[in-house]
Structure 1
Amino acid sequence: MLISILTFLVGLAGALLLAFGSWLVFPPAGYIVGGLLCLVWSFMSARALAVRDFQANRQQRGDS
């Protein structure tokens, strides 16, 4: 449990630092990078939930 929370926090800090660093180079780039990171996060979360639901339905039907 602790490692998953720590992994999330390190990933969040990395995303913030990446967006902030790009903002220091060119301010609009910080917003673009931040938005892209949000889109990637949303896609990966939705995909993980879909895989989890698919596997749960597969186990209920008895498929292997």
Structure 2
Amino acid sequence: MGPTWITERLAGHFDRKVRLVPNRHSAHGSRQVRIWLADHPDRIELRILPPTGAEPRRAGQR
């Protein structure tokens, strides 16, 4: 089972485009996943999180 099995399975459950926001795990940007996504642009879109982000705010902090 390659890294694209989850995208194939998710796409099969919805009748519209699925937008995913995965973390930066290497499998999410692998060559196989990029090829699958390029071949199915109308089924799934990935918005991979940036490598660094703003520090989380604590309650009451501005």
What TM-score do the two structures reach when normalised by structure 1?
Answer: 0.27
Structure showing the higher strand proportion among its residues: 2
Q: Which has the larger radius of gyration?
A: 1
